[in-house]
Amino acid sequence: MKKIVLTIVAMLSMTMAFAEGENTNATNVVAAYDMNVNFNKLADALSLSVDQVDGVKDIHKTFAVEMLNAANAPVSERKSMKDKAIAKDLKYMHYVLDNAQYRKYLMLLNTTLNNRGIND
């Protein structure tokens, strides 16, 4: 009886150790693609007007959802989904922001993507 219990404990331990690494990798990918930001700091950095803040919030919420969808997509589709989300975000932001604000936003977004390791 003692051998059976020890065997079961050993099997469960090995199974948990194997599953832990797989789950951690998926969690890291989703965390890297999480694009939630502090809008007050973004508004200060870009010197946004009140109307621009509302527009940027709406656009960025859509972008964050699309990036999370890309994170949960199969690896073969992830890059194209990410590229489409970024292109769409930049197109809409260019409409809301003036040229100086857009250049600064582009720099901030590029830095964020590079720091998270998702910019190819």
For the chain, 120 residues long, give each residue's pLDDT as a single digit of tens.
777 777 877 777 767 666 555 555 566 666 667 677 788 898 999 999 999 999 999 998 999 889 888 888 888 888 899 999 999 999 999 999 999 999 999 999 999 888 888 876
Contact criterion met (CB below 8 Å) for 102 and 93: yes
Q: Which residue has the tokens 């059976």?
A: 4
Question: Mean pLDDT for the chain?
Answer: 83
Contact criterion met (CB below 8 Å) for 48 and 101: yes
How many CA within 13 A on the CB side of residue 45?
Answer: 15
63-90 pLDDT, tens digit each: 988 988 888 888 888 889 999 999 999 9
Please provide the DSSP assignment of 28-87 as one string: HHHHHT-----HHHHHHHHT--HHHHHHHHHHHHHHHHHHHHHHHS-HHHHHHHHHHHHH
What is the reported pTM?
0.73
